[in-house]
Structure 1
Amino acid sequence: MNLQLALLEKAARENRLAHLLLFHGGSALHQREVALRLAQILNCNQPMLEGPCQECYACHKITSKNHPDVLWLKPLKTTIGIEQILAWQQKVYLKHYEGNYKVSVIEQADLVTLPAANALLKVIEEPPERTIIILCAQNADGILPTIQSRAQLVYLPDLSEEAWLKGLGEVDQQDADRAFHLSGKNQNLATAILEHGMPLLKEWVEKFRTAVEERDFLKLFSLFPIDKNQAVLYLQVMAAQTQEGMLKGINRPFEFLAIGRAIDVLRQQVNPRLVIEVLALELFQRGGDLCD
């Protein structure tokens, strides 16, 4: 454990933890594990010097994400919208049920929309008693500055590949290795690939590549229907592979930039079919050739 995490745990044991923490960097799995451990330290019924007991009723409920005073929030689609934050806000202001602290963990907090961020800020400025809010983000700069300035920033480095694999639980080693390669060694993206399913992702990406290489618009029809979350995941994988191809001299920067723009547009709630078709047409015109 690094010094920063050791100090965080010490502050939690001594009831001196900042009411707003911003985890950034590293993998989502690591952020989740650290948040879960802090929630256990704050609410463990039989705390020990080295940390939570992991045996009591509270520790087990927090591990299974069933503790009424430990709230977990993540995007329902490609963003965390105002409706989600308002529903969460109501739960935050309820009285404690059985824990010492109410802990709220907001995953992918850099995907909070501006209206939702403003609603979140109201809670941050006047937090209920014995309430800890943990924001998890890949990039701290994606968080509203007025929120960022009120938070204690905690940088988490990437896990080793071995630790990342261990955190995944029971997964096929070969699938995990393939996902790690497909993601460009991005642990968050690799985890999303495994959760989604390797075969479906590879089939979709291969069909898209074929349509682009053959400049055959009709072959795009087999790619749909597709929801926004799937589309973002598929394009992120293509972006990672295209970036790798650029380093090898196979791909050109415009292909990577075109995919990046498509991802940005998708996150603005535009129809995924329209985004994919526009991207394909752009690559048709520029002679795009996505790498394998």
Structure 2
Amino acid sequence: MNIALELLVKAALEERLAHLLLFHSGAVVERRQAGMYLAQALNCQRPREDGPCLECSACCKIHSGNHPDVQILQPQKASFGIEEILHWQEQVYRKHYEGKYKVYILEQADRLTLPAENALLKVIEEPPERTIIILSAQNAETLLPTIQSRAQAVYFPVIEKEVWIDSLDPSINRQEANEAFRLCGNDPDSAQVILELGVAKVKQWVNQFQESVQERDFLKVFNLFPIEKNEALIYLQVLAYQEYGDLRSPGSMLAINKTLDQIRKQANPRLAIEVLALELFRQGGY
């Protein structure tokens, strides 16, 4: 446990914890575990001086994911839409079921759309009592400055590859996990998505895109679709970070990063990638 988290647990036990926390960097699993441990500290029935007992009914329910006042929210699609946040708002203002505190962990908060962030601000500005909101994000800088300024930020150190691989389900092939970690530039959250999509699938798409650009064959670009937004984001991230091929051109990197930003801001993935291909054609490929 890092020092910042230790201080949060101490504040939780003393019931003086800030209502809005921002967990960033590290890995999503690590941030989730920290949020659940904090929820245990807030709701423990027999707390110790240094943290929750981990044995009482409340602690066990939180650990198993069955506590009615502790919830983990994830985007249903590639981003958090305003509909999801508005639905969540209704739950936030309901009464507690059995816990001392309601705790909500919003994972992948860096995928909130702008309307969703504005809706979230309403809850942040008028928070229900005894309610803690934890925003979990790999990149905190993508959040609105007004949200960042209202949150107590907690930084999680960059996780080492072996530590991340050891945290995965034992059934996952270690060689594939290692390749996923490499493909995305050592970002554990993105590596997790690559594993879910399939390492072979991701590499195949990237290779086909490269071939279409190198051969300046726009018809081959059409064979890369349809793809969903979350797939497009991962494919482009791999394009930006991969170690094979020649992606060292500043112009190419700028074009890829611009396309990533456009898709994150709700641009049509197909249209954005087609425009990217044309731009790379114009630049002379990689």
* TM over 0.5, shorter chain: yes
Q: Distance in 2 between matches of 1:230 and 1:64?
A: 30
Query: Deviations along 1:199-234, whole A, 9 cap, x unmatched?
Result: 211121111112112222222232111111111111
The DSSP-based 3-state class of the residue aligned with 2:147 is helix
The DSSP-based 3-state class of the residue aligned with 2:223 is helix
Q: Distance in 1 between matches of 2:213 and 2:64?
A: 44
The DSSP-based 3-state class of the residue aligned with 1:149 is helix
**Aligned runs of 1:1-292 on 2, under 5 Å?**
1-170=1-170, 171-241=172-242, 244=243, 251-289=248-286
- Return closer, same or farther for 1:37/1:283 CA change in 2, 3 Å cut-off: same
- Give the fraction of aligned pairs with identical amino acids, expressed as a percent: 58
Q: Distance in 1 between matches of 2:53 and 2:197?
A: 33
Does the CA-based 8 Å contact 1:69-1:98 persist in structure 2?
yes
Q: CA deviation at 1:259?
A: 0.9
Does the CA-based 8 Å contact 1:21-1:152 persist in structure 2?
yes
- Return closer, same or farther for 1:250/1:16 CA change in 2, 3 Å cut-off: closer
For 1:141, give the aligned amino acid.
E
For 2:164, give the aligned amino acid.
W
Does the CA-based 8 Å contact 2:71-2:103 persist in structure 1?
yes
The DSSP-based 3-state class of the residue aligned with 1:185 is coil
Q: Distance in 2 between matches of 1:89 and 1:221?
A: 41
**Unaligned stretches of 5+ in structure 2?**
none
The DSSP-based 3-state class of the residue aligned with 1:154 is strand
Moved more, 260-269 or 24-33: 24-33
Query: Deviations along 1:104-129, whole A, 9 cap, x unmatched?
Result: 11122233233222221221122112
Q: Distance in 2 between matches of 1:204 and 1:64?
A: 38
- Return closer, same or farther for 1:173/1:85 CA change in 2, 3 Å cut-off: same
Query: Deviations along 1:242-282, whole A, 9 cap, x unmatched?
Result: xx579xx7621111111111111112222222122211121
Q: CA deviation at 1:5?
A: 1.4
**Unaligned stretches of 5+ in structure 1?**
none
The DSSP-based 3-state class of the residue aligned with 2:150 is coil
- Return closer, same or farther for 1:206/1:55 CA change in 2, 3 Å cut-off: farther
Q: Distance in 2 between matches of 1:193 and 1:175?
A: 10
The DSSP-based 3-state class of the residue aligned with 1:223 is coil
Q: Distance in 2 between matches of 1:215 and 1:174?
A: 33
Does the CA-based 8 Å contact 2:161-2:186 persist in structure 1?
no
Q: Distance in 2 between matches of 1:250 and 1:24?
A: 28
Q: CA deviation at 1:21?
A: 0.9
Does the CA-based 8 Å contact 2:43-2:59 persist in structure 1?
yes
For 2:250, give the aligned amino acid.
P
Q: CA deviation at 1:132?
A: 0.5
Q: Distance in 1 between matches of 2:265 and 2:145?
A: 20
TM-score, normalised to structure 2, is 0.91
How many residues matched?
A: 285
Q: CA deviation at 1:46?
A: 4.2
Does the CA-based 8 Å contact 1:43-1:58 persist in structure 2?
yes
For 2:269, give the aligned amino acid.
P
Q: CA deviation at 1:75?
A: 2.5
